[in-house]
Homo-oligomer: A and B are copies of this chain.
Amino acid sequence: MIEEKLKKTSLLLDQPIKNYIDGSDVLYKAALHLPSHGGKRLRPFLVIKSCEIVGGDTNYVIPAAIAVELLHNFTLIHDDIMDNDLLRRGVPTVHTIWGIPMGILAGDLLFAKAFHILLSMKGDYERLIRAAEIMAKATIIISEGQSMDMSFEKRNDVSEEEYMTMIYKKTGALFEASAKIGAILGGGSEEMIECLGNYGKNLGIGFQIFDDYLGLVSKEEILGKPIGSDIREGKKTIFIIKLLNSSSRDKVINILGKKDISNEDIASIIYYIKNEKIDEYVLNKAKLHIDLAISSLSIFPNSEAKNDLIELAKYAISRLK
């Protein structure tokens, strides 16, 4: 049900995105590559539903919804260069096809387009400025999150608190901003904006923790990459951080430090994770944030939009990928 609604919103945005990123230069082709390969488009859904729940005009906020989606795609294109990732959404990444210089530039163009689209909206200028300021602030926070994430790869002493800050910055901040932008442009009250921001933030955090979880417990066919790829790539997922802060630290630290981690190594890391019951801990932590997200909606009376946001939160920790 909620998946159908997500799909419907996503389809609705396909053509407008193509119209916004329209140019004959190869730059436009490169910039449109990732957005035209879909993705779940959760952030624009959040903008639209947050507008709807405060009683705003959902058609009016479509440009803002597209703006946050393009902003998200810009960060993905640049992240893929930084992390040297070759595939995303089942297709080669932008820099893999067009090279790093064009990848950088395509990201920059989407970033600029995101602001241009949002700022070209008419309406209450004070609310528009506030929405754009929130989007700019979120981008600053996302950059800080990516920097933290990169620095974690070289460290074995990352705390759970640092991990939580990092995923708030990398994922929570733009979910939070999306919900706030929808609420602001929909004419919501300060209390509504605040509560929806809280909803978005906790949804993003729960979503990201569950993403780590899927990387360990999902199936290779669904994930599109082998189970434990995160471990092999040296990513500091919450599993690894908890494991390094557990009594199994001494047993795993040498394995994690290897240049080439074998399948047997991955299997033994997963054994220790399960032995320490870290998988249960992580799933509960994701659930906690989803519960926090849902309870942030308590000020709103029942409505279809409220129901959709609740379903979206539940979906975030039940999806297979």
- Chain A positions within 8 Å of B, measured between CB atoms, are 23, 25-27, 78, 81-83, 100-102, 104-105, 107-109, 111-113, 115-116, 119-120, 125-126, 128-129, 132-133, 135-137, 139-140, 143-144, 146-148, 150-151
Given contacts A82-B101, A83-B101, A119-B136, 15 further A-B contacts (CB under 8 A): A25-B151, A26-B147, A78-B108, A81-B101, A82-B105, A105-B143, A105-B146, A105-B147, A105-B150, A108-B139, A109-B144, A112-B136, A112-B140, A112-B143, A113-B136
Shortest Cβ distance from A104 into B: residue: B78
The winner among A23, A102, A133 for most chain B CB atoms within 10 A is: A133
Would you mind naming 10 contact pairs between A and B with Cβ atoms under 8 Å apart? A23-B144, A25-B144, A81-B104, A82-B101, A82-B105, A104-B104, A115-B139, A116-B136, A116-B139, A119-B136
How many copies of this chain? 2
Shortest Cβ distance from A112 into B: residue: B139
Q: Are B129 and A105 in contact (CB under 8 A)?
A: no
Shortest Cβ distance from A84 into B: residue: B101
Closest Cβ of chain B to A135, distance in Å, is 8
Q: Can you list the 6 inter-chain pairs with the closest CB atoms, starting with the nearest?
A: A112-B139, A82-B101, A125-B125, A116-B136, A27-B147, A115-B136
Q: Are B101 and A116 in contact (CB under 8 A)?
A: no
